[in-house]
Amino acid sequence: MTGHLNTWTDRSYVVVIGLLACLGIAVLVGPVIVVLMTSFTTSAALKFPPPQLSTQWYVALFDPARSSHIHNAAYNSLWVATLATSLATLLAVPAALAIARLRTAGARALEAAFLAPLILPTLAYGLATLMFFTLLGYRPSLWLLTIGHFIVIAPFVFRTTVASLTQLDPVLLESSAALGAGRLYTFRRITLPLITPGIAAGAFLAFIASLDNVPVSLFLSNARTDMLPIRMWGMIESTLDVRVAAISGVLIASVTVLILVMERLVGLTRRMSG
């Protein structure tokens, strides 16, 4: 009797967890499917379901004459994301190397401070950044956007690098030192190759976070430094332009391919969970 009850309980647990998992997947994937299907509509307005399917809005999106403002915003976003990610990698990796080796309370405080932008309200941070640069006399530009994005995305690179360093077997470093290798040689031949997948995973997450950032871009951009998320927001508010759905379709497809490539190369999900 007890065994039958345990079996029924186990099956009920599996069913409940399975239903909750399916519900979670539907909530996450459902909006993506709706946007993708809407991007192929023949209608001149954003509505679902589409009356018929067509690629006309993708053709309009890639038309330089009709969508030059979108192309400029996309170029600005890619430029800022690339530069901010490069800067975050150059500064976050040495910081992770320095902090990960320390076990003091000061090191833990520095790590918490470095990760603080992950929990800081980005709208408040965007407003604070705008006020700070205004007081210094700087006007909105791509360079200010790069600095603003850098502060927000650097923790991604820092976190995955620290996780890779904590998984690094100290015996390897001790053996290298015992064989007469210096610190620089050990770093170049042992430490760096082993933590490179973690650095690459963090840089990828940082790039995507910068590309999709709205709050910081909202406060630090202007008409000359228009960013893609802000341009999409404006198009939805003003005309409900279907090209917004086409932009979303391009971004979804591009990011999906990049995620599959990164998962294949560096084990992205493992690095994120580490």
Whether residue 99 lies inside any domain: the answer is: yes
**Each residue's pLDDT expressed in tens, for the chain with a length of 274 residues:** 555 545 767 677 777 888 888 888 888 888 888 888 888 888 877 777 888 888 888 888 888 888 888 899 899 999 999 999 999 999 988 888 888 777 677 777 777 878 878 887 888 888 888 888 888 888 878 888 898 899 889 999 988 888 888 877 676 766 777 767 677 777 777 777 888 888 888 899 899 999 888 888 888 887 778 888 888 888 887 777 888 888 888 888 888 888 888 878 777 666 665 5
Q: Is 28 a member of any domain? A: no
Evaluate the CA torsion angle 243, 244, 249, 251 in order and state its sign.
positive
SS3 breakdown of the chain: % helix, strand, coil, rounded to 5? 80, 0, 20
For the record, the structure tokens of 76 come out as 């600005």
Tell me, yes or no, whether 11 lies in a domain: no
Number of domains in the chain: 1
Find the domain containing 136 and state its range. 67-273
Query: What is the value of pTM for the model shown?
Result: 0.84
Residue 250, domain member (yes or no): yes
What's the CATH code of the domain at 137? 1.10.3720.10
Domain contains 98: yes
Instruction: Show contacts of 46-55: CB within 8 Å, 24+ apart.
Output: 46/236, 46/240, 46/241, 46/242, 46/244, 46/245
- On whether residue 176 sits in a domain, the answer given is yes
Rounded CA separation 264/28 (Å): 23
Q: Could you tell me where the DSSP H helices lie in 101-212?
A: 105-115, 122-135, 142-166, 170-178, 183-186, 192-211
Closest CA to 161 of 243, 94, 259, 230: 94
